[in-house]
């Protein structure tokens, strides 16, 4: 069960963190304080998911494997939030870079 649930929890935490980091940019007309509150409200459940996944996953995964999953999904989620939520264009070079990151995680975890 952990083999599937831990990566999903890490991915979900990365989605929340991506919105916390850059999601507020879509609402630049709001004050800095509103952006700060929005980000912090997303960070708490993100942190709970992340720490829970890592604690639960030890034994099924090595800590370095979970860190690789977490970091790569974080970057990929930033790209997805940038593209789908903020409307940023992803160049071919960026897409290839994300594919290389996914391959690197597979190499680390297998």
Using one digit for the tens of pLDDT, what is the confidence trace for 55-66? 999 999 999 999
Q: What pLDDT score does 58 carry?
A: 95
pLDDT of residue 109: 82
CB 42 within 8 A of CB 20: yes
Q: What is the pLDDT of residue 12?
A: 96
Q: pLDDT class for 104, splitting at 50, 70, 90? A: confident
What are the two backbone dihedrals, phi and then psi, of residue 61, each rounded to the nearest 5 degrees? Answer: -120, 155
**Residue spans of alpha helices (H) in the chain:** 2-22, 32-57, 63-80, 92-109
Mean pLDDT for 75-79 is 89
Burial 61-98 (b: 16+ CB within 10 A, else e): beeebbebbbebbbebbbbbbbeeeeeeeeeeeeeeeb
Beta bridge partners of 58: 61
Residue 106 has pLDDT above 90, yes or no: no
pLDDT tens for 26-38 read: 888 999 999 999 8
């Amino acid at each position: 069960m952990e083999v599937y649930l831990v990566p999903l929890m890490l991915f979900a935490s990365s989605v929340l963190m991506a919105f916390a980091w850059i999601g507020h940019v879509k609402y630049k007309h709001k004050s800095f304080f509103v952006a700060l509150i929005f980000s912090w409200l997303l960070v708490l459940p993100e942190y709970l998911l992340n720490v829970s996944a890592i604690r639960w996953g030890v034994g099924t995964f090595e800590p370095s494997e979970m860190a690789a999953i977490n970091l790569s999904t974080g970057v990929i989620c930033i790209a997805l939030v940038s593209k789908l939520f903020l409307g940023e264009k992803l160049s071919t070079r960026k897409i290839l870079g994300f594919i290389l990151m996914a391959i690197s995680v597979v190499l680390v975890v297998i």
